[in-house]
Amino acid sequence: MILLIHTRTETQQIHRQLGRPEYSYRFVVNEFRTLLDELGVVIEVRDPETEVDAIYASCQRHGVPCLFLCFMPPSKTPIGLTCPTVCVFAWEYETLPNEAFAGKPRNDWRRVLTRLGSAITHSSFTVTAVRAALGADFAVISAPAPLWDRMQALRGPRTAPVALPILRGEVIDSRQTRLADYRLSLVRAARPEVLPLPANRHEYQANISLDGVLYTAVLNPYDGRKNCILMIQAFCDALKDKPDATLLLKLTHHDPSELIPDMLEAIYKMGDLACRVLLLHAYLEEAEYHALLRATTYAVNTSHGEGQCLPLMEYMSAGKPAIAPRHTSMLDYIDEHCAFVVDSSVVVGTWPQDQRQAFRTLRQRIHYHSLVMAYRRSYHVAREEPEVYAAMSEAAVESLRRYCSRETIKPRLQELLGQALGQHDARVAAHG
């Protein structure tokens, strides 16, 4: 079988595309690539409109099955190709977009998916949403990025303290920053332009010391779903008197300078703090990223919704328990055995790509007090109950094995690909 794959962002461009639309699909493609190599000959195409059908025609002449996997949202997946096409997409809201807003029929995802006939998404939550929109018989599976096996090499005792050498990028440490400079409500009245970042943000980046109880979150600060201000406030509230507690936010955006002042103001407003907040804006090489993971005590997520959340999956696969809510895709792998579960509740929401921002769906609201208590309980476990921490670590590994191991994903993927080819053959036969 020939498997054609495509996403918009190329691997060599990813460090310049962080935070741009659909950038995270490149990481998903890279995780799937090795598994797809076991199922067929994989060819990545740059321009589906000109390349896919030409390859498909050649395969037809030689009697070789061919399928196109497009790792993009349905609204951006080609639907006019002769080659059978499967849309691989992430989604984290209760309802699929079901209106042709902005005068574009493709914004109604039901039209696209019905035309294609099958889809791959990354959670049972999204499978339920797809079938609610398209019927119980629609061919869709949950196949999260199969990264569990890759992360097993990073399991083992936590390594701390760690001196993390950041060779490129910026580091902002709440302990080395004049936080009072970021009283934005006062400062902006006199200087409305974007405030400059701390002048010393390059001075100590070559040797960041990570010790104590380290909470790590990897997120795009411009993604409102990630709820990073609440994450910071609750951490400072919960552990303000703990000098050995650090929250590290690894910012995955090519230029977060407009939002960093808001984060610094959030820290400033929490008063005198013994705990530490680190904002890290740098593209980490693999060794650096692994060093950060090994030094981490807990992975943190406070989002309103997740399609799968690759960083959380990576950390938990490597044995890092989580502080996270149990909703959307995280219903599949977060529970009280492997995480300090943060309470949340349903509120009205909007589809992020809908320019009208009309209320058409639901999202999850994080309960602040529950998040504060999760930080406090997790700190106590890390410091006083090593046997509980070890059990949570093993439970995290096992939960993610069931969710995103190659053993779990491969048979589902094989079945869906066969179903997609069968559907296509039946359509061709029906039309002569």
What CA–CA distance (Å, rounded) separates 302 from 304? Answer: 7
The Cα 377–Cα 340 span in angstroms is: 8
Domain 2-146+406-430 = CATH 1.10.3470:
no
Instruction: Count, in order, helices (H) and strands (E) of the chain.
Output: 14, 17
Alpha helix locations (H) across 213-365?
Answer: 228-239, 260-268, 286-295, 310-317
Within 8 A by CB and 6+ apart from 79, the residues are 85, 106, 112, 115, 116
Q: CA-CA distances (angstroms) from residue 253 to 18, 109, 265, 337, 387?
A: 5, 27, 20, 32, 37
pLDDT less than 50: residues of the chain: none
What residue segments make up the domains of the chain, in order of their start? Answer: 2-146+406-430, 149-404
- Torsion, CA 31, CA 37, CA 41, CA 47, rounded to 10: 0
pLDDT at 190: 57
pLDDT reported for residue 206: 62
Under CATH, what is the fold of the domain 149-404?
Rossmann fold (3.40.50)
| Residue 293 near residue 156, CB atoms below 8 Å | no
Task: List the one residue out of 246, 222, 251 whose CA is nearest residue 236.
Answer: 246
Question: What pLDDT shows up at residue 284?
Answer: 84
Q: How far apart are CA 392 and CA 285, in angstroms?
A: 28
The reply to whether 2-146+406-430 and 149-404 are identical in fold is yes
For 71-226, strand residue ranges (E) read 85-88, 118-121, 139-142, 162-164, 170-173, 208-210, 213-219
> In the prediction, which pLDDT does 268 show?
94
Structure tokens at 3: 């498997």
The predicted pLDDT at position 424 comes to: 86
What number of CA atoms fall less than 13 Å from residue 238's CA on the CB side?
25
Q: Alpha helices of 147-285 — where are they, by DSSP H? A: 148-151, 184-190, 228-239, 260-268
Beta pairing class for 298-300 and 276-281 = unpaired
Q: Which two tokens stand for residue 332?
A: 């599949």
Segments in 244-364 forming alpha helices (H):
260-268, 286-295, 310-317
Q: Which helix (H) or strand (E) holds 394?
A: helix 386-404
